[in-house]
Amino acid sequence: MPDQTGLDMDRLRAKQGFICDMDGVIYHGNRLLDGVARFVDWLAAEGKRFLFLTNSSERAPRELQAKLARLGLQVGEGHFYTSALATASFLRSQQPGASLYVIGEPGLVGALYEAGFTMNDVSPDYVVVGETRAYSFEKIEHAVRLILGGAKLVATNPDLTGPAEHGVAPACRALVSPIELASGKTAYYVGKPNPLIMRHAIKRLGVPVEQTAIVGDRMDTDIIAGIESEIDTVLVLSGVTTREGVKAFPYRPRYVLNGVGDIPPGGAAV
């Protein structure tokens, strides 16, 4: 496990850019996590550039902004980037104007509409899957039929679970798995740790990689995404990954902290 000395933390605090996950880092469900307000205030006071990068595809940036406002944080809409936006960008680069069958929430559907795609539940070019609570056997069955008929399968992110207010909830990959198994096709996953979404995030942040850190709660998405992008990695223990859980992976984060409240000066680093 990395040893966080005072000099190590000074090095982290000197970074000019921070890419932060949201679920398990900023909030659980509708509960703001301890130290988050202090962290966001510090980012603003120090003139840091920051981007909230979430694998969740359910909400548009405007909705994420509104959610943080309800929780007491005022953050501009431009500070958010989602796997839904990255998925729309990827599909536009592959087949502009394609038709899609989408299993997902308004954040995903809206991003795809804005990118110029049309919805088609008869003969689409792609089946696109993101997180949704409106999941059913009928939708799985229909998606499998479309894929066997030639549609390509794309998913917004590879998360199996995500932190929720009262535990964990199934995430995108858990929803896609039955479709993959029944169709015999493997989805292309756009979200972290895919380098594609990380390139988008780094470009939007506008800070050199050596001056950037990524903060997340998952070893298999946030931390490996940072390592593969040559960005300093900060694992917070406020979400999915536990201290013991880190040992199961063949790679290590640069920093391990209780939460983002440990980053500003005066925080209690692990």
Summarised one tens digit per residue, pLDDT across range 101-129 is: 999 999 999 999 999 999 999 999 999 99
d(CA 21, CA 221): 10
What SS3 class is residue 222? helix
**DSSP for 9-53?**
HHHHHT-SEEEE--BTTTEETTEEPTTHHHHHHHHHHTT-EEEEE
Q: Which residue in 239, 170, 188, 169 sits closest to 20, CA to CA?
A: 239
| 86 lies in some domain | no
DSSP H helix total and E strand total for the chain: 10, 15
Whole-angstrom distance, CA of residue 46 vs CA of residue 32? 22
Among 189, 218, 239, the domain-final residue is: 189
pLDDT category at 29 given cuts 50, 70, 90 is confident
Residue range 191-233, pLDDT digits in tens: 999 999 999 999 999 999 999 999 999 999 999 999 999 999 9
Q: What is the pLDDT of residue 193?
A: 95
Whether 61 is covered by a domain: the verdict is: no
**Number of other residues whose CB lies within 10 A of the CB of residue 266:** 8
Active site residue 21: yes
Single pTM value for the model: 0.92
Predicted confidence (pLDDT) at residue 167 exceeds the cutoff of 90: no
Domain encompassing residue 134? 94-189
Residue 165 and residue 102 share a domain: yes
Length of the chain: 270
Here the tokens at position 113 are: 């509409």
The answer to whether position 26 is within a domain reads: yes
Q: Would residue 79 count as lying in a domain?
A: no
pLDDT of residue 246: 96
Separation of alpha carbons 177 and 169, rounded Å: 15
Whether residue 110 is contained in a domain is answered as yes
Are residues 112 and 124 part of one domain? yes
Last residue of a domain, one of 189, 213, 235: 189
Please state whether the peptide bond connecting residue 193 to the residue before it is cis, i.e. omega within 30 degrees of 0: yes
Number of structural domains in the chain: 2
Residues 238 and 155 grouped into a single domain: no
Residue 258 lies in a domain: yes
Residue in 3, 8, 10, 21 annotated catalytic: 21
Q: Shortest CA distance to 85 belongs to which of 115, 125, 44, 41?
A: 115
Q: How far apart are CA 179 and CA 173, in angstroms?
A: 10
The one catalytic residue in 8, 23, 121, 217 is: 23
- Domain end position, chosen among 164, 189, 214: 189
Q: What is the CATH number of the domain that holds 146?
A: 3.40.50.1000
Contact 117, 93 (CB under 8 A): no
